[in-house]
Structure 1
Amino acid sequence: MGPVVVAPDMTVEIGVILPTSTPDPANPIVGDVRASARFAEEAGLDSVWSTDHLVASAPMLDSTAVLATAAAVTDRIKIGYNVLLLSLRPVAWAAKQVSTLQILSGNRLVLGVGTGNPAHGDVAWRASGLSYDDRGARTDAALAVLPDLIAGKTAVVENGVEVAIAPGAAVPPIVVAGNGKRALRRVARFADGWASIGLSPSEVAAGLAEIGRPAVKATIVAPAVGDDPKAAAELLAQYEAAGVERVILAPTGADFRRDYEFAAAIKAAS
């Protein structure tokens, strides 16, 4: 079965995760990024996403290389970090990668930012010579200067160094992930959007109320949409009413075509 081409008539965007990792270490999903990105675009989906880590609990490709590859073989679809771990990188390097992706993709990047899932442990930070316990503070410090760095403006980074990154680029939407109090404060202070995993519509509404900024919309990763496209579309309408602008559907296995066709069928049922 080929891609299901649908009209972009649904307000809530539907994204899918590229085959670059898996939550199940026993069943790694590392597939063809070029084919999957092209297939998602041909199916009429709105965005493709790459997970990010240095040392995860399962095999995982480098997110920036993945998104550059996806951008190179597509023309319309958005590309996104789900989510970039800023605390593992010098912020100037992160800004360089983001600005380059914006230029290469024609400003199609969405920058998801997080502090790291504890399920992966702290080995990536230890391997990088960094403190795992300081990852929240490092993320806040990076977010404070990242937009200026991406835009090519001068900013003061670690150790008081003043630097400008050239060429600058358009600052992508920044979506901060997390459910804790510190994460929600981080969203309110730095972000254009808020990301969380699997929340219900009512939980989304409560979280957005706590953030307290009407302009902030939610991205929900791996919502429980079931296996009926019409019922899933009805659920997405409830998410939209709660303040969701985007859902990112989780992979169900190594067959990305099946998952992407189901995502397209949800759009067609809306």
Structure 2
Amino acid sequence: MIPAPFDYVAPSTVDESIQALAAAGEDAKVLAGGQSLLPVLRMRLAAPSTVVDLRKVAELRGVREEGDVLVVGAMTTHYEVQRKPSIAEHAALVKEATDTVADPQVRHRGTFGGAIAHADPAGDLLAPVLALDGELVVAGPGGRRTVRAAEFFQDYFTTALAPDELLVEVRLPKHTGWRAHYEKFNRVAQAWSMCAVAATVRTEGGVIEEARIALTNMGATPVRATAVEQALLGASATADTIRAAASHAAEGTNPAADGNSDVEYRQHLARVLTGRAITAAVG
């Protein structure tokens, strides 16, 4: 299908982008990699008055280190994130999850910030950012502000972004030396996950000193599995301990029933996949 008519703007700076959004009003759409927006436009599920294309905004690309924090520009592609040594070293969970995103073509075009701002609860990057206690830097007419990941994701496809604001970068506290695994379950290759688990742990002498666990597609937003984290804290990294902790994975979740599964099956998946993810992470 052909999209409904819209005005097209391609600014070259963040300031120009914000001005374009402010001028367009509330029904403008931001184009990052286009992997989510373009199909929606073609099916006319959205008919914005203006599309603001960020692909020329060079300041939104790249990964840098600022002390104990990794900063990922919103327009950095999944492919770039996959291959950045600092991501693998200091945010292994993000690397693990990015490796599972769709296929190589999508990873070359799709962007880190675009996937997060889209806020699809089945998306693979939301749970890792939540598990790592990431912060989202947002720019708008009033300047820049920082929002914690736990407050950024608010509902299905809904974030703390105002209509005239942009996500400009994601700040990830370094988890150097932590081991991680992203366990994903889908019916067919490259499909959205029915359920997935982002797990990263720090062990010492066979004891789990810290754990961060978050779930994908188990509610309207990514869900932090705090009961699992608490059960793992200070425990020996044994199969029995991990199995007992993973039994708490579905607590606090509210998955939707659909053509793929009912609620009970998704909660069962959460428990099984959490056990697998933690086991893989601790080795």
Q: Which has the higher helix share?
A: 1
Scaled by the length of structure 2, what TM-score is found?
Answer: 0.28
Scaled by the length of structure 1, what TM-score is found?
Answer: 0.29
Q: Which has the larger radius of gyration?
A: 2
Q: Which has the higher contact order (CA 8 A, sep 6+)?
A: 1
